[in-house]
C-alpha cells in the first residue's frame, strides 16, 4: 500500500490559498500529473469527458522509453512504479524493417545508453512495453476522489488570480491553475492559443490486436517476437506495424503481490498490429472508415495485402474483430513560445505528433512529471515559464522528428514548413 502523507490544501502561486489545480483530461498525461501533484500534497482535480475509464478504444500498447519511465518513477507512489516494472515486457531495443516478402531491410537500434532505473523490485530498462489499458489502470489507482468522469470542458474564464473551467453540464470549477491535458482536439488550447494549429497528415491507421498464441509465436521470425517494433513496408507506402506485448509477470499475479488494491482482468500476450496508408490509397472514405465493423476493416486491409508474405496476412487474419478501429494521424504545427499564464498545457494538447517515432505518450508523461515539479516549486518562486520553455522546445522537436519518420515510411509530410 502507498505511504502518503495526508493531502494538504496548497496553492502553487504565492498569494493564493485553498485553490486547487484543475486538469482537463484523464489521459496518460493528465493522470500522471495528478499522481505527481497528489504525491507532492497539492490539491488537484481531473475532469474527463468520457463516462468511464475504458469507455472507448484508446490503443493497445505503449513503448515506454527512459523519459516515460523516469516520469512514472517520479510521480507514482513507489509501489505502483514497482508494479509497472514487474509487469512491463523488456524487448530488445530494436526496430526491424522488412519488405512485403519478410526479407529483412535493416535494423534500427534504439538508444539504449540510459542506465536502468532501480526500483525496490528490480530494474526497469530504458525500453519497455506495456498494454495501454494496464498502464491507465495503474495511473488511475488511488485517484477515485480526484478524477471526475462525464465532465466535458467547454472553455474557461480567467483573471490574474484564478481560472474557472466551464463544463458542458453547466457546472464550473475555480482553481489557481488550469492544465490542458485534453489531447489533440484540446478545447483549452483552442481558446488559449488560437494560433496553434493541428493538421491532418492524410494518413489513416487501422489498429487491432492479435492473441500471441504459441503456434503463432513459433511461426514468426525470432527477432520479430523479441524486438520493440517491426515495420513491414510495401508498395504505395502501405505498411504493417507489428509490436509484441509480452509481460514479464501476468499483471494480475504482479498486482496480487505488489498492489492488491488493483484488480486486472486476465490479460495474455498479444501482438498490437496496425496497417497504415495514405487516405487516397485506402479505398475507404473517412465516413466509411468510421462506420465499418471490425470485420469489414480487416477485410479491407487483407485486400491491400494481396501478394504479401503469407505470414503477414495470417497475422492480420487473426486480428480480434472487436479490437479493430481506425485512427486519423494528426500533427501539431510548432508555434513560437507565448507568455506564461495560469492556463498551461501538456502532451498532445499542445504537441501532438504522428505515432511514427512512438514518442507522444513518453513526452506527455515527461511533461506531466516536469509540470508537477514546477507547480510544487512554484510556491517557492520558480516560474511556470521554465516548464513551458522546456516543454515547447522538446515537444516540438519530437513533433518534427516524428513527422520526418512518418514521411520516410509513408511519403506524407504533415508539417507545412
Ligand X SMILES: Cc1cc2nc3c(=O)[nH]c(=O)nc-3n(C[C@H](O)[C@H](O)[C@H](O)COP(=O)(O)OP(=O)(O)OC[C@H]3O[C@@H](n4cnc5c(N)ncnc54)[C@H](O)[C@@H]3O)c2cc1C
Buried b (16+ CB within 10 A) or exposed e, 242-272: bbbbbbebebeebbeebbeebebeeeebbbb
Nearer to ligand X, 40 or 365 (CB): 365
Q: How many CB atoms lie within 10 A of CB 294?
A: 16
Q: Is 355 in the site for ligand X (CB under 6 A)?
A: yes
Binding segment for ligand X (CB under 6 A), chosen from 84-92, 107-115, 359-367, 388-396, is: 359-367
Q: What is the dihedral of CA 178, 68, 111, 100, to 10 degrees?
A: -90
Q: Is 402 in the site for ligand X (CB under 6 A)?
A: no
317: Cβ–Cβ under 8 A, 6 or more apart, which residues?
298, 302
User: What DSSP letter does each residue of 245-262 carry, written as one string?
Assistant: E--SS-HHHHHHHH-TT-
275: Cβ–Cβ under 8 A, 6 or more apart, which residues?
205, 206, 238, 239, 240, 241, 301, 304, 305, 316
Q: Hey, CA dihedral for 353, 357, 358, 362, is it positive or negative?
A: negative
Binding mask 165-184 for ligand X (x = CB under 6 A): ----------------xxx-
Interface residue with ligand X, options 12, 27, 91, 334 (CB under 6 A)? 27
CB of 289 to ligand X, least distance (A): 14
Nearer to ligand X, 49 or 258 (CB): 49
Q: Is 289 in the site for ligand X (CB under 6 A)?
A: no
Interface residue with ligand X, options 20, 91, 208, 360 (CB under 6 A)? 360
Interface residue with ligand X, options 21, 62, 273, 345 (CB under 6 A)? 62
CB of 165 to ligand X, least distance (A): 9
CB of 168 to ligand X, least distance (A): 8
Query: How far is C-alpha 365 from the chain's CA centre?
Result: 8
Interface residue with ligand X, options 48, 70, 121, 131 (CB under 6 A)? 48
Interface residue with ligand X, options 19, 20, 22, 26 (CB under 6 A)? 26
Q: Are 153 and 187 in contact (CB under 8 A)?
A: yes
As given in the structure block, the three cell numbers for residue 145 are 476522489
CB of 241 to ligand X, least distance (A): 8
Nearer to ligand X, 62 or 240 (CB): 62
User: What DSSP letter does each residue of 299-325 carry, written as one string?
Assistant: HHHHHHTTTS-HHHHHHHHT--GGG-E
Q: Is 327 in the site for ligand X (CB under 6 A)?
A: yes
Nearer to ligand X, 353 or 384 (CB): 353
Q: Is 89 in the site for ligand X (CB under 6 A)?
A: no
Round to whole Å and give the CA distance between 88 and 246. Answer: 8
Q: What residues line the site for ligand X (CB under 6 A)?
A: 24-30, 47-50, 59, 62-63, 152-153, 181-183, 185, 187, 205, 207, 274, 327, 347-349, 355, 358-362, 364
Amino acid at each position: 500500500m502507498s505511504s502518503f502523507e495526508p493531502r494538504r490544501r496548497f496553492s502553487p502561486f504565492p498569494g493564493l490559498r485553498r485553490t486547487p489545480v484543475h486538469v482537463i483530461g484523464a489521459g496518460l498525461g493528465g493522470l500522471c500529473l495528478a499522481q505527481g501533484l497528489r504525491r507532492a500534497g497539492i490539491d488537484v482535480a481531473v475532469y474527463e469527458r468520457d463516462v468511464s475509464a475504458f469507455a472507448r478504444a484508446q490503443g493497445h500498447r505503449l513503448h515506454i522509453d527512459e523519459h516515460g519511465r523516469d516520469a512514472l518513477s517520479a510521480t507514482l507512489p513507489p509501489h505502483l512504479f514497482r508494479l509497472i516494472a514487474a509487469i512491463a515486457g523488456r524487448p530488445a531495443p530494436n526496430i526491424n524493417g522488412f519488405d512485403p516478402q519478410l526479407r529483412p531491410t535493416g535494423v534500427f537500434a534504439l538508444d539504449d545508453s540510459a542506465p536502468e532505473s532501480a526500483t525496490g523490485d528490480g530494474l526497469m530498462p530504458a525500453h519497455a512495453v506495456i498494454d495501454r489499458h494496464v498502464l491507465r489502470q495503474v495511473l488511475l489507482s488511488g485517484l477515485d476522489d480526484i478524477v471526475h468522469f462525464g465532465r466535458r470542458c467547454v472553455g474557461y474564464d480567467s483573471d490574474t488570480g484564478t481560472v474557472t473551467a466551464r463544463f458542458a453540464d453547466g457546472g464550473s470549477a475555480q482553481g489557481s491553475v488550469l492544465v490542458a491535458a485534453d489531447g489533440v482536439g484540446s478545447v483549452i488550447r483552442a481558446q488559449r492559443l488560437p494560433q496553434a494549429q493541428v493538421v491532418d497528415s492524410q494518413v489513416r491507421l487501422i489498429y487491432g490486436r492479435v492473441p500471441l498464441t504459441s503456434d503463432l509465436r513459433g511461426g514468426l521470425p525470432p527477432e520479430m517476437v523479441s524486438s520493440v517494433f517491426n515495420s513491414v513496408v510495401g508498395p504505395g507506402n502501405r505498411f504493417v506495424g507489428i509490436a509484441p506485448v509480452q509481460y514479464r509477470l501476468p499483471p494480475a499475479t504482479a498486482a496480487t503481490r505488489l498492489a492488491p488494491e488493483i484488480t486486472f482482468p486476465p490479460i495474455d500476450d498479444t501482438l498490437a498490429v496496425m496497417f497504415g496508408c495514405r487516405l487516397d490509397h485506402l479505398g475507404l472514405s473517412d465516413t466509411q472508415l468510421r462506420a465499418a465493423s471490425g470485420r469489414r476493416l480487416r477485410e479491407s486491409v487483407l485486400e491491400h495485402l494481396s501478394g504479401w508474405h503469407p505470414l503477414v496476412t495470417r497475422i492480420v487474419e487473426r486480428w480480434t474483430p472487436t479490437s479493430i478501429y481506425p485512427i486519423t494521424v494528426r500533427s501539431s504545427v510548432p508555434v513560437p513560445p507565448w507568455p506564461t499564464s495560469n492556463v498551461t498545457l501538456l502532451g498532445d494538447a499542445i504537441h501532438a505528433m504522428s505515432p511514427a517515432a512512438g514518442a507522444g505518450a513518453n513526452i506527455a508523461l515527461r511533461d506531466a512529471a516536469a509540470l508537477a515539479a514546477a507547480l510544487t516549486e512554484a510556491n517557492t518562486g520558480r516560474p511556470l515559464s521554465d516548464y513551458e520553455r522546456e516543454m515547447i522546445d522538446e515537444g516540438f522537436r519530437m513533433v518534427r522528428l516524428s513527422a520526418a519518420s512518418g514521411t520516410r515510411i509513408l511519403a506524407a509530410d504533415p508539417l507545412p514548413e
